[in-house]
Amino acid sequence: MATIEECRSALDKLSDNMAGAEGDVRSAAALDRSLSCRITDLDITFVGRLKDGRIEVLDTVQGPPPDKAQIRLTMAGDDLVAMVNGELNFAKAWGSGRVKLEAGLRDLIRLRKLL
């Protein structure tokens, strides 16, 4: 099972990858939205913002997020680490229910470019 530190490091790496992207991926990541990433097996949530193509983690809270973020991810810690390391395909994990992504319809349309 991934640790809190490994999950935080994975989010930092994902942020770096998005910041270095170009073209459609960069434009999809250029949203300014509140973001939460719930790690079910650790019962924690990283709360922050997707802004200027980066994920900015502002807080880590125990349990579910205190407020409903505009973009919400839910998954196990091992799945987060595996996705960021390229060992787990996001689209397949999302389709199978291992990863949940919730957002408004317009945001989902834009975010699909990241898949």
Among the listed residues 55, 64, 38, the one whose alpha carbon sits nearest the alpha carbon of residue 111: 55
Whole-angstrom Cα distance, residue 72 to residue 1? Answer: 21
Domain extent at residue 100: 4-114
Closest CA to 55 of 80, 78, 88, 91: 80
Task: Give CA–CA dist 53/78, Å, rounded.
Answer: 24
pLDDT digits (tens, 9 = 90+) for 57-91: 999 999 999 899 999 999 999 999 999 999 999 88
Confidence of residue 12 (pLDDT cuts 50, 70, 90): very high
Name the 3-class secondary structure at 53. Answer: coil
pLDDT at res. 22:
73
Number of separate domains in the chain: 1
Q: What does pTM read for this prediction?
A: 0.89
Q: What is the CA radius of gyration of the chain?
A: 13
17-51 pLDDT, tens digit per residue, is: 877 777 766 666 678 999 999 999 999 999 999 99
The CATH number of residue 91's host domain is 3.30.1050.10
